[in-house]
Amino acid sequence: MSNSATESGRDARNWLALSIGNSRLHWAWFQGEVCKQVWHSPHLDSAAGEKLIHGWNRGELWCAGLESPGPPGGEAIAPNPPLWIASVVPHQLALWQSYGRFYLITLEDVPLLGLYPTLGIDRALALVGAARQWGWPVLVVDAGTALTLTGADPEGRLVGGAILPGFGLQLQSLTEKTAALPPVTFPATLPPRWALTTPEAIASGVIYGIGSGVRDFIEDWWQRFPTSTVVITGGGGEMLLRYLQESAPEMAKQAIAMPDLIFAGICYIKQQQSG
Ligand SMILES: Nc1ncnc2c1ncn2[C@@H]1O[C@H](COP(=O)(O)OP(=O)(O)O)[C@@H](O)[C@H]1O
Ligand SMILES: CC(C)(COP(=O)(O)O)[C@@H](O)C(=O)NCCC(=O)O
Ligand SMILES: [K+]
């Protein structure tokens, strides 16, 4: 095979995955089944989206001057990569629909039994992504804007789950809905549980509150499915794992952190569809 044939073969295998969350856009660049790079960007406005698509159409993958739409380092890859999207945010999804090689993943594409029609596609994809690697039954804890728990049984049937405000949303809502509580940035480490300052008291309430709730859900899940894998993902996943390491070390040892879980799900669906 000539060099150029090898090159074009490689290029043809390039594709992008975009998961549109309520806080951010999550991007991955794949070659075939291999995930080469993952990065995150803020939501984009329509001008920024159009600029990016225009660049892709011209064969420039990452538009210069656009804030963080591309991977750090801005790798050069083939023009017009297929873009596989999973979205739980309709107004952000609309930006990408004019792109020629746009593929939207919906619940109908996901081979999961017992789905209900309004289940978030991110939750369904995370579940099949986790099961592909660890098998059924599986429980996914996704600490995103909302924190979700989503579990499926040994047959790959959705058992159900729960949705609560995530770390950032809880911190933000306290600031917004009270007169005296200051904005608190997401702490890098666990705060003291018995806090003596207002910011630490807020951080403690949110982190230990979410953490103990999640722990209770996991304990209940293991009563039902003692052999189930538990996978933790999402922007707040590290904090959740830190909580478990301190408060429930045995549980933490058995939980698996997969920050890029959604992309395992997207890759699986793409493979199914591409035959
Ligand atoms: N760099 C970051 N940017 C935004 N949120 C972050 C970041 N690091 C951690 N977080 C936390 O992660 C949560 C958002 O998770 P993420 O999985 O990005 O959400 P979504 O998928 O809903 O957009 C928020 O609670 C936030 O506090
Ligand atoms: C629960 C979610 C908001 C989580 O999204 P995220 O916070 O991670 O952006 C999303 O999965 C969603 O909109 N779900 C629809 C309702 C459901 O899953 O039952
Ligand atoms: K999510």
Which parts of 193-248 fold into alpha helices (H)?
198-224, 237-247
The residue nearest atom 7 of ligand 1, judged by CA position, is: 235
The pLDDT of residue 69 is 52
In ligand 2, the atom with minimum distance to the C-alpha of 121 is 11
Tell me the pTM.
0.93
109 lines ligand 2 (CB under 6 A): no
pLDDT at 70: 56
Q: Is 25 annotated as a binding residue?
A: yes
Distance in Å, CA 145 to ligand 3 centroid: 7
Long-range contacts formed by 72-78: CB under 8 A, 24+ apart: 72/39, 75/29, 75/36, 75/37, 77/11, 77/14, 77/29, 78/10, 78/11, 78/12, 78/14
Q: CA-to-CA distance for 57 and 52, rounded, in angstroms? A: 9
Task: Note the maximum CA span of the chain.
Answer: 69
120 Cβ closer than 6 Å to some ligand 2 atom:
yes
Q: What is the dihedral of CA 102, 107, 110, 115, to 10 degrees?
A: 170
How far, in Å, from the CA of 12 to the mean position of ligand 1?
32
Please confirm, yes or no, whether 260 is among the known catalytic residues. Answer: no
Q: Which residue has its alpha carbon closest to ligand 2 atom 17?
A: 119
Q: Which residue stretches of the chain have pLDDT < 70?
A: 1-12, 59-77
Residue 85 annotated as binding site: no
Nearest CA to ligand 1 atom 25: 168
CB 139 within 8 A of CB 221: yes
**Which residue among the candidates 11, 122, 153, 220 is catalytic per the annotation?**
122
The CB of 167 under 6 Å from ligand 1? The reply is yes
Q: What tokens were used for 103?
A: 């593929």
User: What is the atom index within ligand 2 of the atom nearest the CA of 142?
Assistant: 8
Question: What is the atom index within ligand 1 of the atom nearest the CA of 19?
Answer: 21
ipTM of the complex: 0.97
